[in-house]
Structures are given as C-alpha cells and as structure tokens.
Amino acid sequence: MNKPAFTFPGQGSQAVGMGRDLADSFAEARAVFEEVDDALGLKLSAIMFDGPEDTLRLTENAQPALMAASIAVVRVLDARGVKVAEAASHVAGHSLGEYSALCAAGTFSLSDTARLLQIRGRAMQQAVPVGQGAMAALLGLDMDVVKEIAAEAAQGEVCDVANDNSPGQVVVSGNLAAIDRAIEIAKARGARRALALPVSAPFHCALMAPAAEAMREALGNVDMKAPSVPLVANVLARPISDTQEIRTRLVEQVTGMVRWTESVSWLAKEAGVTELYELGTGKVLTGLAKRIDPALSGQAVGTAQDIEAFIAARG
C-alpha cells in the first residue's frame, strides 16, 4: 500500500480557539506554541486561543498561527510514533502551508519558520496599500476561461490567476478595479458564482513583487536542510527536495499561482497516493481533495479527538 501524503492548510482556515484543545491535551503541542511565542516575541498563542478575531486575521499573525497549529499536530503524532519521514510519501501546503510542510519535513526549524511567516505576512500586507487590491473567487468556470477573463479584465492593470484550488474553483487577484471587472465578466460568461473575497491584500499576483524581494532576503539568511520527504511545490505542481530550488520556488510563490489542483492530481496520478491527511486547522484541503480526484480519501487531523482517531486507525 502506498504511503499517504500530508497536506497543510493556508490562510482563511484560521479561527479563534484554534489549537486550544491541542494545548490542553498534549505537552508537545504546548511546547510548540511556547516556542513560536518566544520566536516572535509575541503571545501569539493567546491570540489563537482567545482572539480578538480581527487581530488573528491580520496576515502577519494568521500565517504563523496556522503553521503553529499544524506543527503542534505533527509533534504530537511524532511523539506517538507517526514520524513524517516514515509515514508520508510527500508533503504539500497551500500557500503559507508550504512553510508548514517544510517545517514538518525538517527543512526549517520551528522558530525560523515562525519568523519567516511573520516577515512574509507583513511584507505581503505592506506590498499594496489597503483598499487598492482585491481577490475574487470565480466558481463554475474552467481554468482556460478564467485565464481569458483575467486577460480581458486587466486593461493595463494587474489581474492574475492566483489560486487553482479545485476544478471550478479558481481565484483571481490584482488591482481592485480589475478584479471588479473580472467579477462582472465572469458573471456574463456563466460563472455559477463570482464574488470578492474578504482578504486584506491581493495575494499571489504581480503586485506582490515587493514581498517576493523581502522573502528572497529572509530566505537567504536562514539555515535549510533537505526535507525528509519531497515537497510538492505550489508553483511547479511537482516534487522538489533541493534546498536551493526550494528557496527559489518559495520566492516565486509570493507572486505566482498556487497550482493546487495540479499538485493534488500529481500526487494521485503520478505518485499513486490514495490518502491525504490535512494536518492543522480546518478541513478546506480535505474538501478540495475530493473535488480534484474522487478516488482520494481525505481526512483532517486538527483536534485532540482527530489525533486519537488517526492513531487508533493505524493500529
């Protein structure tokens, strides 16, 4: 039987209360949250557990928070004999989740990952003044049509395809007016729904170039080890293990498209993966997996109860 792949959620999965029951149940989880708090010089765990929601939702907090919750699960599993290097064939993460995946696979230390994501979150937020950028989900259209819509909507501004999440769920990102045009064009082209997303910045588009430069500098100053299992990279939708290439692709990822549909399809068709386990907060990627390939079985492992069930199922 083929080994499963471990996936790691991205921004939007955060929620007040995240990680609390892990901290209440497991010393390993508490240690993760304490180390992240220390690395950031910020009581991030208190914001995760108690809010307020608008503080948690800030990109510079949401990104390390989601990573911390994922790594808390990883460390609890590891202490119970489920080690990433032995249990998984590959890791993959959605946008910031790529950093969680790399931390889980030993490429970055936990403290370095937390600091990198705080830098990434701040840089992405500062790249575009609030109110000048937007993102929109275009539902029920295939990728080729969305690319045509983005090109038509741009009119000299930025309108890029940001996320290919699953068949019929594609996100565009760019200047506010261009995204507004894309929504209207998509409706006229028969989209099931076309709606602006409640995000604070236009991620994964050309407007994020200043943030990409900030990450190039930050990643150049951090220790990296080859991952214990290959990472299926967002911008390539194929596995990589070389640290220099990982660094390059993480920089590209800031402005590049998250090719999630292709990444999951690669795992299923090329690597023969039949099971995906989403480690961390929420169930977004588990839901997407079924839409991408109905033959995949997906399971979210984010709570103490999920962990106990996962361990029990492995016998």
What CATH number should be reported for the domain holding residue 27?
A: 3.40.366.10
274 and 257 part of one domain = yes
> For this structure, is 204 an active site residue?
yes
The active-site residue out of 13, 70, 95, 100 is 95
pLDDT above 80 (res 196):
yes
| 8 Å CB contact between 161 and 146 | yes
* Catalytic residue (choose from 70, 90, 204, 263): 204
Q: Do 180 and 280 reside in the same domain of the chain? A: no
Per residue, the 3-state secondary structure of the chain, as one string, reads CCCCEEEECCCCCCCCCCCHHHHHHCHHHHHHHHHHHHHHCCCHHHHHHHCCHHHHHCHHHHHHHHHHHHHHHHHHHHHCCCCHHHHCCEEEECCCHHHHHHHHCCCCCHHHHHHHHHHHHHHHHHHCCCCCEEEEEEECCCHHHHHHHHHHHHCCCCEEEEEEEECCEEEEEEEHHHHHHHHHHHHHCCCCEEEECCCCCCCCCHHHHHHHHHHHHHHHCCCCCCCCCCEECCCCCCEECCHHHHHHHHHHHHHCCECHHHHHHHHHHCCCCCEEEEECCCCHHHHHHHHHCCCCEEEEECCHHHHHHHHHHHC
Domain assignment of residue 181, given as a range? 133-199
Among the candidates 141, 166, 199, a domain finishes at 199
For residue 136, list its beta bridge partners: 172, 196
Q: In percent, how much of the chain has pLDDT > 90? A: 97
Query: How much is the average pLDDT of 15-26?
Result: 98
Instruction: Give the pLDDT confidence score for residue 27 in this predicted structure.
Output: 98
Asked if 95 is an active-site residue, the reply is: yes
Which of 151, 182, 199 is the endpoint of a domain? 199
Give the percent of the chain with pLDDT over 70.
100
In this prediction, residue 315 has a pLDDT band, given cuts at 50, 70 and 90, of confident
- Claim to verify: residue 154 and residue 184 sit in the same structural domain: yes
Mean pLDDT computed over every residue of the chain: 97
Where among 145, 171, 199 does a domain terminate?
A: 199
**Domain co-membership, 112 together with 215:** yes
Query: Which pLDDT value is given to residue 2?
Result: 84
Q: How confident is the model at residue 199 (pLDDT cuts 50, 70, 90)?
A: confident
pLDDT, position 11 = 93
Q: Residue 200: pLDDT above 90?
A: no
pLDDT in tens, 172-188: 999 999 999 999 999 99
Find the mean pLDDT for residues 229-247.
Answer: 98
Reported as a single tens digit per residue, the pLDDT across 77-129 is 999 999 999 999 999 999 999 999 999 999 999 999 999 999 999 999 999 99
Low-confidence winner among 202-206, 265-269, 309-313 (lowest mean pLDDT): 309-313
pLDDT recorded at residue 1: 63
Tell me, what's the pLDDT at 130?
A: 86
187: CATH: 3.30.70.250
If one counts the domains in the chain, the total is 2
